[in-house]
Amino acid sequence: MSNPFKQTRKRPGEWIMEWSIRLVASASIVMIFLILLFVMREAATLFVSAEATTEATSTPSAGSNMEPESYNPDAPAEAAASEPDVYNPEAEDPTTTQQQGEPGAPGQFIYASKNPKYPEIYNPDTGLLPEDIDVVAEDQAEVDTTRKTSVLSKLTGDQWQPVGDVPKFGVKPLLIGTLKTTTIAILIGAPLGILAALYVAFFAKRRVREVVKPAIELLAGFPSVVIGFFCLVTVASFIQDITGAPYRLNAVVGGIGLALAVIPIVFSIAEDALSAVPKTLREASLALGSTEWQTAYRVMLPAAAPGVFAAVLLGIGRAFGETMIAIMATGNAPLSSFSPLEPARTVAATIGSEMGEVVWGSEHYGVLFFMGVLLFVFSFGLNAVTELYVKKRLIKKFQGQ
């Protein structure tokens, strides 16, 4: 018997389209791998050139200049600047050219050190703060040993001083700075975001909700430079007025700025989680005679706990990865101080403010990329935890019982 349903028309076009869509859909996966691969690749130059440097320092210093691949930290900065692959975006700028004359300041940003209103206490020439200057003398004695140490031990040092005769890449102050500002941001942002979500999800009247929710979502669209600028000009003065902090820009100001970036994230995810709690749960609780607020705090909030936890985790991810606010509002000085009223410098801000002035392929360049790998791995980990653990618990909670 003949088959009336056999394919009458070949559709190669559709087959091609379908598979191209599948192919394109893999772009996100490919990008994740490419990001990891290429950020790591640039960071790897750090380890390669570091070996070369160690070898070079063991031979007479004249010989090291002849090795084309090696990066020589002793070489004058001007010499480095004449290398072909130097990235120097400000070369044509007159103010930068003036600064070229100053020793050890090749093509760097015009730092705000000359600015009277926002005194930049971090000295980019030495990478040191005024208070720490007495430490330098001690360190000079250790120069020889420092040179021979491996990259990893350099990274574990106590000082971040990437420019100078003896570059120091101790990430400890940066980690402390990141920890400090992120903690402040979460302490401010998470409660505000969660409580606002609770209000919108349970207490607000419909009409109020329809104004408040988009307004907070709009905050998510504020460019971080705008938040940074607001902190720089307004929040900083306000905080200095009420605390009398010695530095206008400090970890608290930066933390508030980061909190402004964190709030909309925490809010919208927590609000989603709270609204996703089955209505029956709320009605059951109300039917048992609890009030609205008892239901909200004792039934709904615990029921949505994994989602709220996820909201905080993603908020942390945003806070430590945020760059522009951290550069503009924290004071951006690599201090190892835990005091919230002293300036801080985060890992992300360090990449953001130094990448533009670094010699491409140099040790400093490699260290910055290495910190990029750290940021990536950390954010990846946070996301994996929320995806694999928190969501599963949320689903179990609502479906498994």
Partner 1 sequence: MAKDIPLKIETHDFSFYYGAKQALHNITIGIPERRVTAFIGPSGCGKSTFLRSINRMNDLIDGTRTDGHMVVDGIDVYSKEVDVVTLRRRIGMVFQKSIPFPKSIYENITYGLTLNDSVSKSDLDSIVESCLRKAALWDEVKDRLNNSALGLSGGQQQRLCIARAVAINPDILLMDEPCSALDPISTGKVEELITELKDTYTIVLVTHNMQQAARVSDNTGFFLMGSLIEFDRTRTIFTSPSKKETEDYITGRFG
Partner 2 sequence: MQTSTSSMPLPKRLIGFFAVTIALTAAVAVLGIILGMVGSFVSNGGGGVTWTFLSEFPRNNNTEGGIWPALAGTTLLVLLMTILGVPVGTATAIYLTEFAKQDSWFARSVRFAVNTLAGVPSIVFGLFGVGFFIQFMGNGIDGWLGTSSFGDGSLLWSAATLAVLTLPVVIVAVEEALRAVPRDLREASLALGATRWQTIVKVVVPNAVTGILTGSILAVGRGAGEVAAILFVGVTYSSESIPSAVTEKFMHLGYHLFVLSTQSPDVDLTLPLQYATTLVLLGLTFLLNLTAILIRSRLRKR
Q: Where in 247-306 is the site for partner 1 (CB under 8 A)? A: none
5 counts as binding partner 1 under rule CB under 8 A: yes
1 counts as binding partner 1 under rule CB under 8 A: yes
Asked if 248 and 262 touch (Cβ cutoff 8 Å), the reply is: no
33 counts as binding partner 1 under rule CB under 8 A: no
Q: Which of 225, 281, 305, 341 binds partner 2 (CB under 8 A)?
A: 225
Q: Which of 133, 143, 187, 226 binds partner 2 (CB under 8 A)?
A: 226
- Residue 153 has, within 13 A of its CA and on its CB side, a CA count of 6
Of 5-13, 86-94, 117-125, 297-305, the window that binds partner 1 (rule: CB under 8 A) is 5-13
12 counts as binding partner 1 under rule CB under 8 A: no
Q: Residues touching partner 1: how many (CB under 8 A)?
A: 8
**In terms of residues, how long is the chain?**
401
Determine the 3-state secondary structure of 382 from DSSP: helix
145 counts as binding partner 1 under rule CB under 8 A: no
- Per-residue DSSP letter, 291: -
Determine the 3-state secondary structure of 123 from DSSP: strand
224 counts as binding partner 2 under rule CB under 8 A: yes
Q: Quick one: what does residue 5 bind among partner 2, partner 1, none, with the CB cut-off 5 to 8 Å set by partner type?
A: partner 1
CA distance 248 to 235: 10
277 counts as binding partner 2 under rule CB under 8 A: no
Q: Quick one: what does residue 240 bind among partner 1, partner 2, none, with the CB cut-off 5 to 8 Å set by partner type?
A: none
Q: Which of 383, 389, 397, 398 binds partner 2 (CB under 8 A)?
A: 383
User: Contact letters (x/-) for partner 2, 33-62, by CB under 8 A?
Assistant: -xx--xx-xx--------------------
What stretches of 178-261 adopt beta strand conformation (E)?
none
Determine the 3-state secondary structure of 359 from DSSP: coil
CA distance 263 to 261: 6
Asked if 166 and 136 touch (Cβ cutoff 8 Å), the reply is: no
Toward partner 1, which CB reaches closer, 9 or 205? Answer: 9
CA distance 240 to 248: 6
Asked if 387 and 307 touch (Cβ cutoff 8 Å), the reply is: no
Q: Residues touching partner 2: how many (CB under 8 A)?
A: 106
Task: Tell which positions 324-353 bind partner 2, by CB under 8 A.
Answer: 324, 327-328, 348, 351-352
Asked if 327 and 257 touch (Cβ cutoff 8 Å), the reply is: no
Of 75-83, 129-137, 177-185, 369-377, the window that binds partner 2 (rule: CB under 8 A) is 369-377
Q: State the alpha helices, DSSP H only, in 59-156.
A: 61-66, 77-81, 94-100, 133-141, 143-148, 151-155
Q: Which amino acid is at 77?
A: A
Q: Quick one: what does residue 6 bind among partner 2, partner 1, none, with the CB cut-off 5 to 8 Å set by partner type?
A: partner 1
List residues binding partner 1 (CB under 8 A).
Answer: 1, 3-9
